[in-house]
Amino acid sequence: MAAPTWTPWSASSATRAGRAGGATVVLTPSPVQAFPQSLLDLVDVLVPNEHEAVQLAGTSDPLEAARFLSTASRTVVVTLGASGSAIARAGAIVSRIAAIPTRPVDTTGAGDTFVGALGAMLARGASVEHAAETASAAAALSVSRAGASASMPHLDEVTALLAARQL
C-alpha cells in the first residue's frame, strides 16, 4: 500500500476546518517544502526543526529564520536539537527553552514526540512556553530509548522528569 500523499489542498482544508472550529492550528513543515502563504496564514504555531526553518526562510541562521517566519498572529517554535528550542513572536525571539541533557540512544521520532507533546499541552490550555518545556522533556525521554513510537513517553513520565528537575 502506498503512503498517502500530502497536498497543499488537503492541508489547507484541514487547517481551515480546524480554524473554523476554534482549534489552535499547529503545523510542523515536514517534509520541508514550499507551503502556500494561504496555508501559513492559517497556522497559529509553526514548529520547524532548525534545518526546516532555514530552508523555509531562505537563511542560514535558525533563530533568524524563526524571527522571519513569526508574525503577530503566528508563533514559531524552532527546535534546535541539543541546544533546545526557541520561541519567536512578531519577529522577535521571546523565549529560549533549554534541552534536557540526556544520553541519546535513538533520535528517531524525537521531533514527532516534541510536536505531539507541544500540541497536547496547547490543547490543555498551556502557554506556548510551558508547552515547549514539556515537549522538551518528552523529547529527552524519547531519545533515551530505542524506536520511534515505542520511545514516546507517557505524560506521567514527562511530569516526573520535570518535577525532578525542579528539586
Catalytic residues: 112
**76-89 exposure pattern, b = at least 16 Cβ within 10 A, e = fewer:** bbbbbbeebbbbbb
Burial class (CB in 10 A: 0-12, 13-18, 19+), 108: middle
Of 167, 155, 89, residue with least CA distance to 127: 89
